[in-house]
Homo-oligomer: A and B are copies of this chain.
Amino acid sequence: MSAFKYFQEEWTPVINQYLEEYLASEVDDQKISQIMAYSVMAGGKRLRPLLFLATLNALGKEITTTEVRIACGIELIHTYSLIHDDLPAMDNDDYRRGKLTSHKKWGEAEAILAGDALLPMGIQWIAEGSNSAKLVAIITQAVGPNGMVGGQYLDIDSTNNASVAGDAKFINRMEWLKTGCLIQASVEMAAVYAKASQVEQVKLVGFAKVFGRSYQIYDDLVDVVETSEEAGKATHKDQEEGKNNTLTLLGIDRSRQELRDLIKQAQDDLHGLNGEVLAGFLALYQKVL
């Protein structure tokens, strides 16, 4: 078993258990707790919390409940973004990960509020786990108007806008903000938290930037390569809805080549670090190559 697989199998259940236990015990109202947990516990890969923990691992930092709290805070924030992206006014999706989306299951007001509850609670866990205003500044910038939400806005604003369909610079920027920023923040927070040296920080942020970029291409490829059943949500949907992404720009073959190039680049960035586990995240992409 690879170092990554071993790490993943060790920490994924710890993350899942922490999320389940503390969403139940730290949210007073049982109904909104249930609505929040419905989406958080819907079977995600826990990519971002695992990245945070794997970066700590690369830096030789011990992982205790405190670090798991920070990692799980990132997952709460990621889940909020999925709930709001699925809303009728946004992507209007009925299913995610094979289950009804939050608004289809609980109602639209409930879904908006579940997202609005997960975002500050995620930041709270990060603040309390790290006791660091610097980590809070990193995560809030990554998900604010110059980060994830800004990317979602560009996406909404440009859907069915033919003038940006071939604008690679615009599409790269939009995809980076939507997905890359939060992935980079997961690694960067770990580097700051573990007091990485300047050289380590540069390498890790370099890796995170390339990994974040490649993850979006992977995600777009999943949308066309997998059947709807495998992906657990409506696939082939981006194209039908006039969404602009690297895939619609480059086509499948050139997107795959771009992904291969980025994997190589990410591996190079880890050179000289204890990054065996981190490098293992790149294996995720094999199924679309």
Return A220 CB to nearest CB of chain B, in Å: 21
Contact in complex: A124, B153 (CB < 8 Å): no
Return A169 CB to nearest CB of chain B, in Å: 14
- CA distance in complex: A136, B136 (Å): 8
Complex contacts, A224 vs chain B, CB 8 Å: none
- CA distance in complex: A157, B34 (Å): 14
Q: Is A128 an interface residue (CB 8 A)?
A: yes
User: Using a CB-CB cutoff of 8 Å, which residues 126-157 of chain A contact chain B?
Assistant: 127-128, 130-133, 135-137, 139-141, 143-146, 149-150, 152-154, 156-157
- CA distance in complex: A131, B144 (Å): 18
- CA distance in complex: A96, B155 (Å): 28
Return A188 CB to nearest CB of chain B, in Å: 15
Contact in complex: B145, A29 (CB < 8 Å): yes
Once A28-B146, A154-B29 are accepted as A-B contacts, the answer to whether A124 and B136 lie under 8 Å apart by CB is: yes
Q: Mark A56-98, 1 if CB is under 8 A from B, else 0.
A: 0000000000000000000000000000100101100000000
Q: Is A12 an interface residue (CB 8 A)?
A: no
Q: Is A33 an interface residue (CB 8 A)?
A: yes
Return A121 CB to nearest CB of chain B, in Å: 5
What are 14 A-B contacts defined by CB distance under 8 Å?
A26-B146, A27-B145, A28-B145, A29-B145, A31-B153, A32-B150, A89-B107, A112-B112, A117-B145, A123-B140, A124-B137, A127-B133, A127-B140, A131-B133
Contact in complex: B123, A123 (CB < 8 Å): yes
A residues at B contact (CB < 8 Å): 26-29, 31-33, 36, 84, 87, 89-90, 107-110, 112-113, 115-117, 119-121, 123-124, 127-128, 130-133, 135-137, 139-141, 143-146, 149-150, 152-154, 156-157
Q: Which label, helix, strand, loop or mixed, suits the secondary structure of the A interface?
A: helix
Chain copies in the assembled complex: 2
Partner of A120, one of B27, B123, B131, B135: B123
Contact in complex: A90, B109 (CB < 8 Å): yes
Once A29-B150, A133-B127 are accepted as A-B contacts, the answer to whether A84 and B140 lie under 8 Å apart by CB is: no
Complex contacts, A27 vs chain B, CB 8 Å: 145-146, 150
Once A90-B112, A127-B137 are accepted as A-B contacts, the answer to whether A153 and B120 lie under 8 Å apart by CB is: no
Complex contacts, A121 vs chain B, CB 8 Å: 140, 144-145
Partner of A113, one of B135, B146, B149: B149
Having A29-B145, A117-B145, A133-B136, one finds 8 other A-B pairs with CB under 8 Å, namely A31-B153, A32-B149, A32-B153, A84-B116, A116-B149, A120-B144, A120-B149, A124-B141
Complex contacts, A154 vs chain B, CB 8 Å: 29
